Amino acid sequence: MQKATYNKNQILYILEAMLEYFISILVAGSYLATLTTQLGFSDSLTGILSSIISLGGLFQLGSMLIRRHKMKRFVIVFSIINQLLFALLYVVPFFKFPATVKQIIFVATIILAYFVYNLAHPKKINWMMSLVNDGIRGRFTANKEIVSLLGGMIFTFLMGNIVDHFKENGEIKTAFIICGITIFVLMAGHTLSMLFTSETEEIVKTQNQKLLSQIGETFKNKDVQKITLLFVLWYIAKGIAEPFNSVYMIKELGFSLTFISVLSIIQAIIRVLCSRALGSYADKNSFAKMLRICFIFAFLGFVAVAVARPSNGSITFALHYITHGIAQAGISSALINLIFDYVPFDSRADSLAVTQSLSGLMGFLSTFAAGFLVTYIQQNGNMFLGVSIYAQQVLNIIAAAATIGIALFLQFGIINKEKNKKSAV
């Protein structure tokens, strides 16, 4: 493929990622919490719904059954279906059904949306990343993230102000209409970006393999085993705390979406400032060593929420967004790049599917378990072990402790092994 074609494809990939990121903003975090609050969901159920994003990775096992040399049409069609379902989430509040029925429809829609998304996601990543030279993957993924974040700052602030304006005027459903239309417009641009991206052929060796056999073959790679375990542990840690933080900000701490948007912008600026530096560090050293830095800041982010209360929430959540932003500057792309570091091309899509499936499942189960703890603490008047404390604070204490363990596994299970391999050469 000629250099000019590579450059065009990489620009389109960056655009595709940015538009997809905008859509993801509108169906997660404080926006999802606003929808669920309107529909009468409890805090614990909202947290569990938020974790559907990670559970969606389980659906990626289905992508291993789809074997084609060319995936472009499949990816585009499934992306359109996924994004139409996301837009439908903003239509559910308008249904003339009992509250329970609307809640069921909402849950079914978001699960189906992530099911469709995750069937195509490993194939899309394998297709798009094949257009990027190995020697620049760290810097390219950093540049891709920077563009998404810069655009996301403007987008988040604009949409946050729109939703707050109509919410304060008692017209929240008008805001829902605008959000739904916005997703539809973004979907059109996202589809065009993929249509004009060149297609590469996947190398397919397992056309007739059964799913369990494919998973077994994938797991024979010891490097895949370690990467999978690393991300299973990380998804458990963040699954315990992160899905509940958004509703904590809106309900217990009383933050407006505008203020949350400001925090998101601060976080995006931090990620922009750190992404390329971390990407360059990973290209020169390794993605594992870069990830070690990120987990340290992830730990600090959990600690910040662990001490957050209505009296200091603005300050502590600002610290959380800053430290979490530094962490996510590397963690967000580390899985893909670790897989591309250790796994042959023809096995990458399957390795991504298996790793993200197991990680997502364990993350969801940890959120589900944490939901019971949230309910228990709230029903006991925010008391736990004789201490006056909010449920989300307890969850972030647990997540912080788990992150320490993850960093130790990364150091002794992967980084030290890298050193031994280099020493043996």
The tens digit of pLDDT for each residue in 246-273 reads 878 888 888 887 888 888 888 888 888 8
Q: Across all residues in the chain, what is the average pLDDT?
A: 82
| Contact (Cβ atoms closer than 8 angstroms) between residue 14 and residue 144 | yes
| Residue closest to 184 by CA, chosen among 3, 26, 418 | 26
Distance between CA atoms of residues 209 and 212, nearest Å? 8
pLDDT in tens, 120-150: 887 787 788 777 776 676 678 778 888 888 8
| Contact (Cβ atoms closer than 8 angstroms) between residue 55 and residue 107 | no
Q: Name the more confident of 163 and 227.
A: 163
Q: Is 320's pLDDT higher than 90?
A: yes
Q: Is 205's pLDDT higher than 50?
A: no
pLDDT in tens, 148-163: 888 988 898 899 889 9
Phi, psi dihedral angles at 68 (to 5 degrees): -140, 150
Say what the pLDDT of residue 24 is: 92
Say what the pLDDT of residue 207 is: 45
Q: Is 49's pLDDT higher than 80?
A: no
Q: Where are the alpha helices (DSSP H) in 61-171?
A: 72-89, 99-129, 137-168
pLDDT in tens, 78-90: 999 999 999 999 9
Tokens of 263: 């925090």
The residue-averaged pLDDT of 401-419 equals 83
Say what the pLDDT of residue 327 is: 92
| Contact (Cβ atoms closer than 8 angstroms) between residue 317 and residue 303 | no
Q: How far is CA 3 from the centre of its chain?
A: 31
Q: Is 401's pLDDT higher than 90?
A: yes
Say what the pLDDT of residue 425 is: 42
Q: Name the more confident of 27 and 271.
A: 27
Residue for token pair 């949230």: 374
Tokens of 406: 């993850």
Q: How far is CA 298 from CA 69, 72, 143, 248, 398, in A?
A: 39, 36, 21, 19, 13
The residue-averaged pLDDT of 208-232 equals 66
Tokens of 415: 């980084």
Say what the pLDDT of residue 334 is: 75
Say what the pLDDT of residue 204 is: 45
Of all helices (H) and strands (E), which one includes residue 388? strand 387-388
Question: Following CA atoms 255, 261, 266, 268 in sequence, which dihedral angle do they give, to the nearest 10 degrees?
Answer: 140
Q: Name the more confident of 250 and 347.
A: 250
Q: Is 416's pLDDT higher than 80?
A: no
